[in-house]
A and B are shown apart, each in its own frame.
Chain A
Amino acid sequence: MARRAGGGNDIQWCFSQVKGAVDDDVAEADIISTVEFNHSGELLATGDKGGRVVIFQQEQENKIQSHSRGEYNVYSTFQSHEPEFDYLKSLEIEEKINKIRWLPQKNAAQFLLSTNDKTIKLWKISERDKRPEGYNLKEEDGRYRDPTTVTTLRVPVFRPMDLMVEASPRRIFANAHTYHINSISINSDYETYLSADDLRINLWHLEITDRSFNIVDIKPANMEELTEVITAAEFHPNSCNTFVYSSSKGTIRLCDMRASALCDRHSKLFEEPEDPSNRSFFSEIISSISDVKFSHSGRYMMTRDYLSVKIWDLNMENRPVETYQVHEYLRSKLCSLYENDCIFDKFECCWNGSDSVVMTGSYNNFFRMFDRNTKRDITLEASRENNKPRTVLKPRKVCASGKRKKDEISVDSLDFNKKILHTAWHPKENIIAVATTNNLYIFQDKVN
């Protein structure tokens, strides 16, 4: 059933669904903070600022009338994290879900890790579609019968019931992070995972909650000497001993856990020298890496900084093999973006299943795809205006300066409150999930 995962321009993207409230008045708790497909693509999880996780499940395709792929419908909703208060520091701990990562499925249940700033939780999502009936221990109204009145032994029988999806927290991994957790990543051994905050990375075993091992610590002895923080971390998809972490200075370090217990010394350092002609007040901010993702093959990794997406070959440290400008027209607007805090937005990026196309978000509810083979790129918009199913999305264009052509949008009319920070690509199909502030859009390639 796998469609040709072709280039971003060869396929035509169509609107499929949109989830979330329609009104413009966005409740803060509804702001989507993370989006993640599971390993099969059948499930799509979102986390929001209110600490909730919503899981969508793809309908089984109707093989006869397969004019579109199955729709995603709500499968489970649960409150993953609650706001907490750290009395010692007089700090409130936000319940916002920073990341969700799925575990590969081993049995009938699904497992995922969700994290807020301080605590990681392992959730089990299981279905219940049968229930035991036929007990003779209770009265009609539910009160237990007097045991002396029970004279027969009746074995209950499982009868079908309406599907119920239950989410239960199986492990809670707490108290290991002083700073705000920004990443979690499950190892390819499916037994361990890492969690990264601004200054440290810890290694956990999924079964053990009262202990974790610190594998990276970049906290300087004197905090006055702090010059960079960890911004993202991920395990290699195939090598269970390898992981990378990115920094606010635009560097990526690859570490091998076999080398030493504390991986403070990197095995590889990926850094591109700064172009001095582009130096500005904000150079440090825009070079800070907001996301790092390995390709599915494990040969490449992709990093996202404020203005660009870079693809690195793990065998070459001194510069990326490909660089794509996401919204270079913003370079002259950095002052205003600094004033309104948009320059601190952390955009994520993702690969398609075959590692041939990469995608990332931008402002005005635009998102961008870059085809690595054809070197073409496309800009699309997630908007309710196109919300008839199977409507093909029209490519958008931003006019940087000069004469604005028809259908182009000038930089000054971009809405910087409408930002797409989180996107996800189905691991096997050309289905993408794009999160605007409080809505989740699902697009598919056009099926004839």
Chain B
Amino acid sequence: MECALDAQSLISISLRKIHSSRTQRGGIKLHKNLLVSYVLRNARQLYLSERYAELYRRQQQQQQQQPPHHQHQHQHLAYAAPGMPASAADFGPLQLGGGGDAEAREPAARHQLHQLHQLHQLHLQQQLHQHQHPAPRGCAAAAAAGAPAGGAGALSELPGCAALQPPHGAPHRGQPLEPLQPGPAPLPLPLPPPAALCPRDPRAPTACSAPSAPPGAAPPAAAASPPASPAPASSPGFYRGAYPAPSDFGLHCSSQTTVLDLDTHVVTTVENGYLHQDCCASAHCPCCGQGAPGPGLSSAAGCKRKYYPGQEEEEDDEEDAGELGAEPPGGAPFAPCKRARFEDFCPDSSPDASNISNLISIFGSGFSGLVSRQPDSSEQPPPLNGQLCAKQALASLGAWTRAIVAF
């Protein structure tokens, strides 16, 4: 299919459509937004695959050129600051060739690579997991450094919780990572360096940081056919399979909105549009205090209470009224997003839960939340600048992988 747009523009356009649908007459059209979210997902998968491949190639070149110790230092630098604001990563169009100012670009590039890599791990976990018994979740999967799907068997042999160790050099390298060989699908890329694991960082609550309980949409689960690995874009199967990871790359909740779901009569307190469970997955999450419970259950969602409306008429049985009602008009940054219904949440259902993430969070974390986290840009950031938001959306990869319904 001849397409004049690249993945990034498609993402911008899609986000713009979703955003403008909020102000359209007649309310949000569920069907159209669902379809747009599919396009977003497809474009994003392509973008990530391409990006990952490109950055990885550049890093490989870099590694070959530099002496080893130097290389590890660089990586250390990059990994030590995973919580860097996304905009610091220069997400321009794919830069082919590593020429020019390689030194200056490399830390940023490596940071991107790292983020991409993390997300990619989680993608792969999901694909692999379908053919495996539930291995130790986040840890083993995340430790599968760039595992192609074919290495399914080898995964479970990896040392667990490699990711829980701090990202400071030696322990990573010491780990006996399996040189996972591609099975059915031959991988174009060799194994990424062993240090490219999911680092333990208090503000990067990826799945591996929550060994106790999976988040509401835990990464290891579903899908798919093997060939959704970091194949280049030309691979026909790459659209499928990799479902977005639900992890959030570490930005914190800071404000609250209360949402009334008239369908279930549940009042939910939402923290800044980020699913609280992501943040609270880490025991270090300050807003939860000490001993935060495992994500997904009980107070992770804020306080919940049953609400009994005065009239038991059919017209009360309306969906998401509270959410939209609570939303400040004009799309202010802290518009609420709908939370998962925790009373329905079942940890065993997470394999299905990952089979989702179709509706994009345009409130809070996904969209206007991004807008509110503008970097040190001098001019007034235009809120509907799809281009800008798309870059940030891509940069803060985990933020909008969550399927938050706006309806």
Contacts and interface: CB of A to CB of B under 8 A. Distances in A.
B407 A336 contact: no
Contacts of B31: 180, 198, 229, 231, 248, 288
B1 A332 contact: yes
A190 interface: no
Main secondary structure of the interface of A (DSSP, over half): loop
A127 to B, nearest CB: 35
Contact of B2 (A226, A229, A277, A332): A332
Interface in B222-249: 236-237, 239
A238 to B, nearest CB: 30
A401 B120 CA distance: 40
Given A224-B356, A335-B3, A178 B10 contact: no
A331 interface: yes
Given A224-B403, A279-B236, A285 B38 contact: yes
In this complex, the member of A93, A94, A178, A331 whose beta carbon has the largest number of chain B beta carbons within 10 angstroms is A178
Contacts of B353: 222, 224-225
Interface stretch (A4-12, A84-92, A265-273): A84-92
B4 A335 contact: yes
Interface string A69-94: 00000000000000000101111111
Contacts of B25: 92, 94
A225 B325 contact: no
Given A90-B324, A178-B318, A284-B39, A338 B402 contact: no
Contacts of A94: 25-26
B375 to A, nearest CB: 28
Interface residues on B, range: 35 or more
Contact of B359 (A226, A332, A341): A226
Main secondary structure of the interface of B (DSSP, over half): loop
B315 interface: yes
Contacts of A373: none
A309 to B, nearest CB: 20
B39 A282 contact: yes
Given A180-B29, A226-B403, A331-B1, A338 B352 contact: no
Contacts of A248: 31, 34-35
Contacts of A228: 34
A224 B405 contact: yes
Interface stretch (B130-138, B158-166, B338-346): B338-346
In this complex, the member of B239, B263, B317, B338 whose beta carbon has the largest number of chain A beta carbons within 10 angstroms is B239
Interface string B283-321: 000000000000000000000000000000111011111
Contacts of B329: 90
A279 B236 CA distance: 8
A223 B26 contact: no
Nearest to B314: A175
Interface in A163-189: 175-176, 178-180
B53 interface: no
A44 interface: no
A282 B3 CA distance: 11
A93 B34 CA distance: 20
Contact of A226 (B29, B34, B216): B34
B99 to A, nearest CB: 31
Given A89-B27, A89-B325, A223 B405 contact: yes
5 contacts: A178-B317, A223-B359, A224-B402, A226-B403, A334-B1
Q: Please list the 9 inter-chain residue pairs (A to B) with the smallest Cβ-Cβ separation, ordered nearest first.
A: A224-B403, A223-B405, A284-B38, A94-B26, A91-B27, A175-B315, A178-B319, A221-B344, A225-B356
